[in-house]
Amino acid sequence: MYFYFVILGLIKSWEFVNLNIHEALFYLGFYVQFLLKNMPKVKTNSSAKKRFRVTRNKKILHKQAGKRHNLDKKSQSRIRKLRKAAPLSEGHSASILKFKMPYSR
């Protein structure tokens, strides 16, 4: 439906005023191919790629904080439990999926 309006707009525009209908459609085909090949893409945020992982159920896992320093004060079981990735909250995961990782959905 979108391309139909694009075609109508191009035929009525100044580019096709002096052309007959066959020439106009010929050039219009090239323009439509150009549009299809050069659609804008959204880049995935590089920092989000490195910090988060998306599961099959669209949950986002992140590395837990508290395992960088002062480990002598923490118990071994606490350090061991901090190894696992934890799921991100629903509100944060929705915004990260939408804005930072658009192609992971």
Q: Per-residue DSSP letters for 19-80? A: S-HHHHHHHHHHHHHHHHHT----PPPHHHHHHEEE-TTS-EEEPPSS-SS-GGGS-HHHHH
User: 46-104, what's its fold?
Assistant: Factor Xa Inhibitor (4.10.410)
Q: Could you tell me if 36 and 44 are in contact, meaning their C-beta atoms sit under 8 angstroms apart?
A: no
Average pLDDT, stretch 33-42? 70
pLDDT value of residue 10: 56
Least confident range of 7-11, 17-21, 31-35, 82-86 = 7-11
Lateral strand order in the sheet of 52-54: 52-54, 60-62, 86-87
Cα torsion through 73, 75, 78, 80, rounded to 10: 110
Domain extents for the chain? 2-37, 46-104
- pTM equals 0.58
pLDDT value of residue 102: 84
Amino acid sitting at position 26: F
Split at pLDDT 50, 70, 90, the class of 72 is very high
pLDDT value of residue 59: 92
The rounded distance, in Å, linking the Cα atoms of 41 and 60 is: 23
